[in-house]
Amino acid sequence: MAVMSGSIAIRMMGGKEGVLPGTVIPGHKHRFDHTSIFFCGNWHVKKWSPSGAIEHDFVRTGPFHLLIDKNCLHEFTFVGGAERGIAWCVYSHRSPDGEVIDAYSGWNDAYSPRE
């Protein structure tokens, strides 16, 4: 589950401890745009367009961020360069009809990955 912080939700990949080298955040999609922030280490990032064309396939060292558009399949692999990889996904709160709202509404599907 995401942590609520004012007008945003934050999902910590691997929780507060982060992830170990070789950890894959499996490919998934979200209903809304969000930003992924990679704080440290080396990450292999893959992102596909909604039509399935590869848009990003690179390895980069944190810190960096990437906009993940809604309905885009994306996958992250922590490849090392630090003891643990720390990365967060940051979302705007959303209502069930998809509108951005200022406060958490209790609608957890806004933050849940989907296939």
Q: How far, in Å, CA of 28 to CA of 17, rounded?
A: 22
Distances (CA, A) of 65 to 61, 74, 94, 106: 10, 14, 21, 27
**Rounded average pLDDT over 87-101:** 85
Pick one of 3.40.50.300, 2.70.70.10, 2.60.40.10, 2.60.120.10 as the CATH number of 3-111: 2.60.120.10
Query: pLDDT value at position 96?
Result: 76
Domain spans of the chain?
3-111
Q: How far, in Å, CA of 46 to CA of 75, rounded?
A: 5
Query: pLDDT value at position 113?
Result: 67
Query: pTM value?
Result: 0.88
Residues 6 or more apart in contact with residue 12 via CB below 8 angstroms: 3, 18, 86, 87, 88
pLDDT category of residue 1 using cuts at 50, 70 and 90: low
